[in-house]
Amino acid sequence: APLGIPPLHLLVDPRRAARGRRDVEMVLAKPAGDPVVDHRPHKGDRAAFETELIRTIDAAEPDILCLAGFMRILTEGFTGHYAGRMLNIHPSLLPKYRGLHTHARAIEAGDTVAGCTVHEVTAELDGGPILGQARVPVRPDDTPETLAARVLTQEHRLYPEALRRFALGDRTRFDLPTG
């Protein structure tokens, strides 16, 4: 591990995995084909889905969980189980635009700056402590898609840096320099 951090084990994105998108499963220390938890058989029962998710994740004994594109709202049973060791990257400058459709909302509001945030996941949706942010300009001709692509390049810079700091025990907030 280049940063002196043990490799990540697995992250389960049931929605995309169910579509056959193995690339977003982020299986780093285990071969592809690991068990993936599908939320759909648990329709209407988040607790049952999360119980299965916890069993799957805990088998890998992870130190830190990193959500990336994880689209199911988590109950406090789950967030409590992983309290203090679960991160998420969200495509807005929190506390602006919690929830979905962040780029469309930033454009609609006339914002000239947008970006992304890595935060700790708590029971409060997109409301946990902010660890780091990165900014991008919003161009006058941006669509949600062109803005999303610009923000994504910063997500790829921000998340490793936020994880590096967090794994070293540094929870002070930082801004990624532009460039």
Binding-site ranges for ligand NHR (CB under 6 A): 67, 70-74, 79, 88, 90, 99-100, 121, 123, 125-126, 128
Active site residue 90: yes
**Distance from C-alpha of 120 to C-alpha of 165, rounded to nearest angstrom:** 13
Out of 90, 103, 119, 156, pick the active-site residue: 90
Tell me the three-class secondary structure of 80-107, residue by residue. HHCCCCEEEEECCCCCCCCCCCHHHHHH
Number of other residues whose CB lies within 10 A of the CB of residue 151: 23
Task: At 40, list the tokens.
Answer: 């759909």
CB of 39 to ligand NHR, least distance (A): 9
- What is the three-class DSSP state of 66? strand
Give the Cα separation of 87 and 122 in Å (integer): 9
Tell me how far, at minimum, the Cβ of 8 lies from ligand NHR, in Å: 18
Q: In whole angstroms, how close is the CB of 170 to ligand NHR at the nearest point?
A: 20
- The strand order across the sheet containing 174-175 reads 65-67, 86-90, 113-120, 130-137, 174-175
CB of 70 to ligand NHR, least distance (A): 5
Q: Which is nearer to ligand NHR, 54 or 125 (CB)?
A: 125
For ligand NHR, which is the closer residue by CB, 10 or 116?
116
Give whichever of 16 and 22 is closer to ligand NHR, judged by the CB atom. Answer: 16
Q: Which is nearer to ligand NHR, 26 or 30 (CB)?
A: 26
Residues recognised as catalytic: 90
